[in-house]
Structure 1
Amino acid sequence: MARREFLGQFARGGLVIGAALAAGGIDSVAASAADATAKLEPRGAETLQDLTQKLAAAARVRSFKHVPMILTDAGQWDDEALKLVISYQGHGKQVWDNTDIASPWLNLMRNSLNAQVWSFKQPNFLCASATHGTAHLALYDAYIWEKYSIPKVLKGKYRTNIFLDIPKAVAGKNPADFNDPTGLFSPDANCIPLLMQRGVVFLACHNAIWEFSGKLIKGGRNPDHLSHEALAAELTNHLIAGAILTPGIVATLPMLEAAGFAYAK
């Protein structure tokens, strides 16, 4: 099973964990799905679960040939999914303005989610990542990381997109034990797939895509000699499964705040 397909399982709400993860990675996990499955959305989160299911079914176009600098038609971004997020009616919702891939951005969202769910008893709390800047690089799949030498772009700080890797340390952990200091809700579980499984939504940014594609061209990292419009389209087509493309994060933030999302940085 390819990583992109595996991440799609998280976006659809089917997390597979346990001994298979420790033993053999993604293929073993898929083979053991019937024996070791767990959902990480909290009990009583019916509204959040309903959103997760609707987002999984929402249309996402990932077959663009060219995209312009400024998007002018709702068909150019994930309009249906974005509207579902903006109109979410669950109690408690927060949007994180995430720009720095090297910052503790995943950890902060995990901490917020933990306190909302178990301290303040808000199982339907929705946490959204408004992802742009270098943090947006975490929303590209392995193909893009390899083809465009993203580790070199990040000056060797990350050899691969570790933000998509589920730490083996959490394999076999009991999701009912939320206070396990090395469990599924601990700092050991800071990764995009596990946060997605808890209902966190990751918003992607067209402006970040456009500007990064321009930097790749200027930096000589354009092996297929694509036009700016075509390179931006390729990056868009390789966003991770479950990501929600917006026409621009800085323009989407006020829409979310107007809908009642608390802003966090």
Structure 2
Amino acid sequence: MKIIKGRRGILRTFALTVATGAIGLATAAAKPAGAAVESALTAPGAAHLEALKKRLTQAPRRRDFKTVPMILNDRQQWDHEALTEVLAYGPVPKQAWDNIDIAGPWLSLMRNALNTQIWSFKHPDFLAVSVTHGTADLALYDQEMWDKYQLTRLAGEKFKTNTLIVEQKAAAADPTNYEDPAGPFSSEDNSIAALMRRGVVFMCCHNAIWEQAAALIKAGLNPDKLPHAALAAELTNHLVDGVVLIPGAGGTMLELQQVGFHYA
């Protein structure tokens, strides 16, 4: 299994036993957490959050599936190491967001919660998690999948491309001026990339991936004529760096709540 640590391009090899059968492989490929490595946008004093970000960067992400089953029944089929790190995060408060609509204000709501918790209530280690499913799940695929499968057909005409993974110009502004209305903590930098740099964890629901694969097949948006299980696997393999694959949004939300995450 290959792991790339952040943007340094350091390659290391790990031995890992991977379940065969439904997932059809005995090897696993890992991708880096990418933007999550950056620390410039975390608040001063966020030592626990910084440590979590580093551990999540090192946690493997399998992205070489050939097929996936409808119901995941083995932890090797999702990013269990990364999910375990999130579930074990101790500092409070921490919040899990039930994000469904790609066109909704979900990024703004999480950004505002971060700003309030960090600077109003002085909780620099505040952790926000996006439990992402529904059409919001589409924002977690790379542009290659958007182009190949015309995902705008599922996302809506507002999204000709996946604009939510593109960091905005405001990201280049001075991060020490958190009051800047055009800075990286403002609505001018609403993006998944920016929120990842602030420590937000984006989780992707396997059940949503499975349903989106079915929708693409039904709509005739399947240029390679892939079977359902293979198309779902390809979508899974093209999650943007840093995303945590989970077996299902609803069930995982319960796991988060049981360890102290507040539902939002």
TM class, shorter-length:
0.7 to 0.9
Partner of 2:102: 101
Matched-pair contact (CA < 8 Å) for 1:139–1:239: yes
Query: Residues 5 and 241 of structure 1 are in contact (CA less than 8 Å); yes or no, is this contact kept in structure 2?
Result: no
Q: TM-score, normalised by structure 1?
A: 0.86
Structure 1 stretch displaced more, 69-78 or 5-14:
5-14
Measure the CA separation in 2 of the matches of 1:227 and 1:193: 32
The Cα offsets for residues 237-260 of structure 1, whole Å up to 9 and x where unpaired, read as 000100000000111001000000
Task: Tell me the amino acid that sits aligned with residue 126 of structure 2.
Answer: F
Give aligned-pair identity as a percent.
Answer: 51
Check if 1:10 corresponds to 2:11. Answer: no
Q: TM-score, normalised by structure 2?
A: 0.87
**How many residue pairs end up in the alignment?**
236
Number of the residue aligned with 1:143: 144
Aligned-pair distance for 1:72? 0.7
Unmatched tracts of structure 1, length 5 or more: 15-38
Match of 2:231 in 1: 231
Which structure has more RCO (C-alpha within 8 Å, separation ≥ 6)? 1
- Structure 2 equivalent of residue 132 of structure 1: 133
Cα separation, 2, equivalents of 1:163 and 1:191: 5
Unaligned runs of 5+ residues in structure 2 are 1-5, 9-31
Distance 1:138 1:212 in 2: 12
Paired residues of 2:171 and 2:194 also in contact (CA < 8 A):
no
Query: Quick one: distance in 2 between partners of 1:58 and 1:89?
Result: 18
Instruction: Give the residue type in structure 2 aligned to 1:260.
Output: G
Conserved 8 A contact 2:102-2:155: no
In the alignment, the residues of structure 1 paired with residue 124 and residue 191 of structure 2 have an alpha-carbon distance, to the nearest angstrom, of 20
In the other structure, the counterpart of 1:166 is: 167
More helix by percentage:
1
Aligned to 2:158: 157
**1:219 counterpart letter in structure 2:** A
How far, CA to CA, are the matches of 2:183 and 2:156 in structure 1? Answer: 31
- TM-superposed CA distance for 1:76, in Å, is 0.2
CA contact (8 A) 2:102 2:137 kept: yes
Please identify runs of 4+ aligned residues in structure 1 that moved more than 4 A.
4-8
Question: Cα offset for 1:185?
Answer: 0.3
The Cα of 1:92 is off from its aligned counterpart by: 1.2
Alignment of 1:68-83 (within 5 A): 68-83=69-84
Q: Distance in 1 between matches of 2:222 and 2:82?
A: 31
CA RMSD of aligned residues (A): 1.6
The residue number in structure 2 matching 1:48 is: 49
Aligned-partner residue type, residue 199 of structure 1: G
C-alpha deviation, 1:181, in angstroms? 0.8
CA contact (8 A) 1:64 1:237 kept: yes
Does the CA contact (< 8 Å) of 1:13 and 1:53 recur in 2? no
Distance 1:233 1:5 in 2: 25
**What amino acid is aligned across from residue 116 of structure 1 in structure 2?**
Q
One-letter code of the match for 1:186? S
- Asked if the contact 1:164/1:192 (under 8 Å) is kept, the reply is yes
Secondary structure (helix, strand or coil) at the match of 1:136 reads helix
Deviations 1:135-170 (A, max 9, x none): 0000000010000001123342211101011112x1
Q: 1:259 to 1:171 in 2, by over 3 A?
A: closer
Give the structure 1 partner of residue 249 of structure 2. Answer: 249
- The secondary structure found in structure 2 opposite 1:143 is helix
Does the aligned pair in 1 maintain the 2:204–2:243 contact within 8 Å? Answer: yes
Q: Match for 2:73: what amino acid?
A: T
Residue type of the alignment partner of 1:10: A
Distance 2:156 2:181 in 1: 32
Give the deviation of 1:8 after TM superposition.
4.7
- The one-character-per-residue Cα deviations of 1:37-85 (angstroms, maximum 9, x if unpaired) are xx11111000000000000000110000000000011100000000110
* Equivalence for 1:112: 113
Q: Within 1, Cα distance between the matches of 2:86 and 2:35?
A: 17
**Equivalent residue letter for 2:109:** L
